[in-house]
Structure 1
Amino acid sequence: MMAWEAYQQIKKHLDDCKKPLIFFDDDPDGTCSFLLFYRYKKEGKGIPLKTAPKLDVSFAKFVKEYGPDKVFVLDIPMIDQNFLDAVHEMHIPVVWVDHHTPLERRYVEYFNPRKENPSDSTCTTANAYYTIISDDPEHSEQKKELWIAAVGGVADWQLPEYMEEFAEKYPKLLSKSIVKSKKPEKALFGSPLGRIVKILSFTLKGKMGQVMRAIKIMTRLEQPEELLEGTTSRGRFLLKSVEKTEEQYNELLKRAAAQRSEDKFLIYTYTDKESSYTKEVSNELLYKFPNKIIVVGREKGGELKMSLRSKGIVIRPLVEAALQGVEGYGGGHEHACGACIKMKDVPLFLDQLRKGVEEAEKQKKVTK
């Protein structure tokens, strides 16, 4: 995590605005980050990025239309300088909170734990939670949002420091033993809290109007049991809305798991006839097959959008190297990356990735 002074600076940015516009990644980490900020501020508007994890100049029109007094960007790994230039010309400050590979940009207040410590990938949800409690970390009224912070943290395969407190307060949702194991995948796939993560993830699928309605409802939830057990009409509505999505996901996961072989790689691709589940399927496949390199891709518009996972090998530099001579982009975390490659270049990308993995395994054997 960052120094408390950094979180207090972010909080001051929140406190000093009246009409914030918040762009956020449409995964559970980004969405929980938004929920924490919005539920604290109780003002403003949120826009999830559903097409690509990049904020380019085309999004400047939303800033101009809404007319905010400040723009926040949460859990978005890439912001084009031309977007920042356009917003700067509108005389609107931009605050960017992220935990991906740091970038050099002008006209932005940039908060990223990796700037000080490249190995600190504290998820954006945790950074958002630390922000809203930063005035009084031990007794802040905003600690009521602990359950949202827990959902976003575990969704990003992390067990932040506050998870012990969460397990103490919600023992039926997460056991202390799982927290002590320091294995977030156990929380994600082996606890009721993980079930809430999956429900949240499924509510973010579908058309923008449906997603925004679900997010609006989530801004009003008071307890995690609403999502897990449908204890309120709000919770029951969200549970009902994900039934079809969950059926699609389970079928896709079944087909993907069937691709398992002796190959070091488990590769599964599908078409855009179905919703995008690449992140969720790749995560669960890695949990089921931790010794595999997982590649799950969705073909759409002449491109293959992929989620790549690895447990034993740091895959990010290998993905970046595999992009050489390829039309596309990619990046992410040490063991979890995304990539978008033109279909004509997918074979080259995968071939270069295989060679990179083989070389990395040889190096591991040498160092041993």
Structure 2
Amino acid sequence: MIPDSEIKELREALVNSTRPLVFFDDDPDGLCSFLQFYKLNPECHGVVFKKAGSLDAEFLRKVGEYHPDAIFILDIANVDQEFLDKVKNAYWLDHHSPSERKNVKYYNPMIKSKGKDNKPISYWAYKITGESSWLAMTGCVGDWFLPPDIRKKFDEEYPGLIDKKIKKPEDALFKSKIGTLSRALSFILKGKTKEVMDCVKVLTRIQHPNDILEQSTSRGKFIWKKYLKTNSIYNLLIKSVKVTKDKIILFKYSSDKTSLTSEMSNELLFRYPKKFIIIAREKNGEMKCSLRSSKYKVRIILKKALQGIDGYGGGHLHACGAAVKATDFDRFLENIRQQL
């Protein structure tokens, strides 16, 4: 949990900032968290974090360009101390494994709950801002979480977007309209950063989820068109996956395709919950992977599998990302297999 006093502190910092700079992760949870912050304070200037690894000194350029009076970091697992040492008035809201850093106000529900509470950042953004239950639900569902407290209000405000019979987050993601919306937001985050931020700017003007789902406005039509373009690529890839009796579902593809490892691994986990899913995209001599399993503790398996391997990774207990040198990938795969 995050104490009410910290929720209040974050809200006051956001409301009182005249030039807030917001770094957010490039998934529905990170995006919806930013959009909720923007709803409360339209002065927010967003920067999508699309880089593998840490928010590092490279991003100080954005700070220098914007001259913020406060910096908010949302849903980004790793932030370099070098970056934090050179900025002022930084607030970091995350739900991955807790980090220890200086010169930043750090908020993470995993700390006081001793690792038991890793609710998505879009959930906490709603608690902070009180803005847009549909954005909160879209981000939470995209992170495989169905918050009962927010859902009650959401169902009242937006009836029909989640069937009342749906009780599991994975069913909400793949069997409801809000799940479709979450996937749409995930897909518009693909591509070049400028194109992504153009979409984000349009999203700040969206007032209702049906603007997108029913393409009832020009802005909604714009977002839907972007979604369909990536969705066509996704469908070709997901149809190429071969499933056998092996405990592992492994699919590899090359860098000339859009990065869809996370989305593919989520859908395959939904379809095959007893399998260990590995989707690996080869780029610049590295295999960039998304790993998922309901049955196995992915984070623990990944940590052991990386021993003696040229690579890195981490994430949640049942969902992780990793990057491994292509020359080490077979050994990495064998290290995983030995633990299943």
| Secondary structure in structure 2 of the residue aligned to 1:242 | helix
* 1:185 equivalenced with 2:170 (yes/no): yes
8 Å CA contact 1:126, 1:149 repeated in 2: yes
1:231 partner letter? S
Q: Return the match for 2:293 from 302, 305, 310.
A: 310
**How many angstroms does 1:51 deviate by?**
2.0
| Secondary structure in structure 2 of the residue aligned to 1:320 | helix
8 Å CA contact 1:25, 1:53 repeated in 2: no
Which residue is 2:282 aligned to? 299
Q: Give ranges in structure 2 of 5+ residues lacking alignment.
A: none
Within 1, Cα distance between the matches of 2:277 and 2:9? 39
1:1-368 matched pairs, under 5 angstroms: 1-87=1-87, 92-117=88-113, 118-133=115-130, 142=131, 145-160=132-147, 161-178=149-166, 181=167, 183-256=168-241, 259-356=242-339, 358=340
| Secondary structure in structure 1 of the residue aligned to 2:251 | strand
Q: Give ranges in structure 1 of 5+ residues lacking alignment.
A: 134-141, 359-368
Within 2, Cα distance between the matches of 1:217 and 1:109? 30
Per-residue CA distance 1:9-56 (angstroms, 9 max, x = gap) = 110111221101111101110000111111211003111111215201
| Secondary structure in structure 1 of the residue aligned to 2:165 | helix
**How many angstroms does 1:252 deviate by?**
0.6
Within 2, Cα distance between the matches of 1:216 and 1:344? 40
TM-score by length of 2: 0.97
Within 2, Cα distance between the matches of 1:288 and 1:171? 27
Q: What is the CA RMSD across the aligned residues, in angstroms?
A: 1.1
C-alpha distance 158-274 of structure 1, shift in aligned 2 (>3 A): same
**How many angstroms does 1:344 deviate by?**
1.2
Q: Identity over the aligned pairs, expressed in percent?
A: 44
Per-residue CA distance 1:85-123 (angstroms, 9 max, x = gap) = 122xxxx21100000000111111000000111110110
| Secondary structure in structure 1 of the residue aligned to 2:266 | helix
1:157 partner letter? W
Which residue is 1:363 aligned to? none
1:95 partner letter? Y
1:241 partner letter? K
Within 2, Cα distance between the matches of 1:72 and 1:173? 30
Within 2, Cα distance between the matches of 1:111 and 1:346? 35
1:311 partner letter? S
8 Å CA contact 1:168, 1:176 repeated in 2: no
2:152 partner letter? E
